[in-house]
Amino acid sequence: MVLILLVSLLPIPTEATNIRDIEFPVSGQVTHRNDYGEPRSGGRSHEGNDLMGEKMMPLLAAVDGWVSYITIPEASWGYGLVLRDADGWEYWYLHINNDTPGTDDGNGGLENAFAPGIRCGSRVTRGQHVAYMGDSGNAEAAGPHLHFEIHRPDGSTIDPYWSLLNARRSSAFDPAAELQLARSINDDRDLPDVRLRYCLSDSLITTPETDAVYYCGADGRRYVFPNRRIYDSWYDDFDSVITITATELAAVPIGGAVTYRPGERLVKLTTDPKVYAVSRGGVLRWVTTPEIAASMYGDDWARQVDDLPDAYFASYTIGDPITVAL
């Protein structure tokens, strides 16, 4: 995890131009490097990046757009598709799976190559499942991977590495980094510091008349902990809670409800089967696969999922899904 965190903090070089705002095109753990421009047989050069993974990993739409080209039936060079966005940029997906799952028979058919409903002309949304990783065409020796290219409207290619790196940062989630960035609720909510306050910033308060505990924000407002689990995500005990009078409490304006500490737990809404990670500011990010959850929270990740009552949902917002493993 340390190595991944270091990579996530690396600056993108200023000479890396034409960075496209894309979704990382693979759901799952992959390895890749900048192999754009490397020589290939026949005097060719490598026009994309190879994202190495496993067969049947879901491939995701990098952008909103439509399928401008698709190999149906399979071509001699394997299955592939091209997505085009509204600005005319194209995103090429090559070596899509052609095998029956668990084999290397080359007879997987369309159902094991493309997601249901994907055909030439199909409209797609960013992050939508469009195909499966494989080794069709001349990729048998290299192993399962996605060969991913980005083409300008004039047909020329750009180095996709920097767009992929940028997308990987936004598509991944590092619990340790989230915890470091939200050391206090003031940090988590990015509360402004005001001079006039009726309680001490970053303190906990309650009254004899209630079991509720409040956090005093730097903005001079109090934030209630909706339940014990949310409180426990921030504090180990109640030793620092200060008891004040009901009159003193009433003088502190209400700011809202405290949300789970980012990176501490996974949550699931009562009426929603999806599992979410909590990012800063109460942003819920859907963890798209069990493998991604395990990469972040270990093999026992399911034990770290708390049920979040629907009544608390108003305190949260939905962010981008997590489609890349740590």
* CATH number of the domain residue 88 falls in: 2.70.70.10
Q: With bands split at pLDDT 50, 70 and 90, how would you rate the model's confidence at 214? A: very high
Is 3 among the domain residues? no
Same domain, 178 and 152: no
7 domain residue, yes or no: no
The tally of domains found in the chain comes to 2
Question: Do 218 and 126 fall into the same domain?
Answer: no
**Do 148 and 262 sit in the same domain of this protein?**
no
Q: What is the DSSP string of 114-163?
A: B-TT--TT-EE-TT-EEEEBB--GGGTTT-SEEEEEEE-TTS-EE--HHH
Name beta bridge partners: 276: 267, 286
pTM: 0.66
Is the pLDDT at 8 greater than 70? The verdict is no
- Of 274, 293, 275, 288, the closest CA to residue 322 belongs to 288
263 and 253 in a common domain: yes
Q: Tell me the C-alpha to C-alpha distance, in Å, between residue 236 and each of 4, 40, 57, 204, 229.
A: 28, 58, 40, 13, 11
What band does 4 get if pLDDT is binned at 50, 70 and 90? very low
The answer, yes or no, to whether the previous bond of 144 is cis (omega within 30 of 0) is no
- Give the per-residue pLDDT at 15: 44
How many C-beta atoms surround the C-beta of residue 291 within 10 A?
15
Cβ neighbours, 10 Å, residue 115? 17
Answer with the residue of higher pLDDT: 130 or 3: 130
User: 324 φ, ψ to 5°?
Assistant: -125, 130
Q: What is the mean pLDDT of residues 235-246?
A: 97
52: exposed, middle or buried (Cβ count in 10 Å: 0-12, 13-18, 19+): middle
Does 96 lie in the same domain as 50? yes
